[in-house]
Amino acid sequence: MVCFRKKKILPHSVKKVYSLIADVEKYPVFLPWCNNITVKKRTKKYVVTEVKVGFKNIITQYVCKVLLFPGKRISLEYLSGPFEYLKIDWNFKKISNKETEVDFFCNFKFKSIFLRFLTSFFLENAVKKMVDAFEKKLNN
């Protein structure tokens, strides 16, 4: 099981931060280990995606529903794939017109004992690097 939380104030507007995280199709451009994202369905309230990820010699895919609460929250609802469970939440709080507090939470567990063991040594650090990639993209 990997459980990770990071709270940080970013020097960007809520709109800019939210827009970057809601634009799931662009993740493969800047997000480490995200190989491809295919949008299966899109509405104003959610996006269903198939996500292909690869890390070291592990390549897998999962399907999720990304729930959109404009300017406030983005939450991932896991539908199918290699996880026993997967929970990801982004919460946004306006500090000022140019500052946003971002609260990121991620909790997951692979179904496979083999995958749990294989990834146990590096997965938490990988999640931290992925969160940092969002911040780096905002600053570019």
Task: Please list the pLDDT of the chain residue by residue as tens digits (140 residues).
Answer: 778 899 999 999 999 999 999 999 999 999 988 999 999 999 999 999 999 998 777 788 999 999 999 999 999 999 999 999 999 999 999 999 999 999 999 998 889 887 777 666 666 677 778 788 898 998 88
pTM over 0.85: yes
State the SS3 of the chain: CEEEEEEEEECCCHHHHHHHHHCHHHHHHHCCCEEEEEEEEECCCEEEEEEEEEECCEEEEEEEEEEEECCCEEEEEEEECCEEEEEEEEEEEEEECCEEEEEEEEEEEECCHHHHHHHCCCHHHHHHHHHHHHHHHHHC
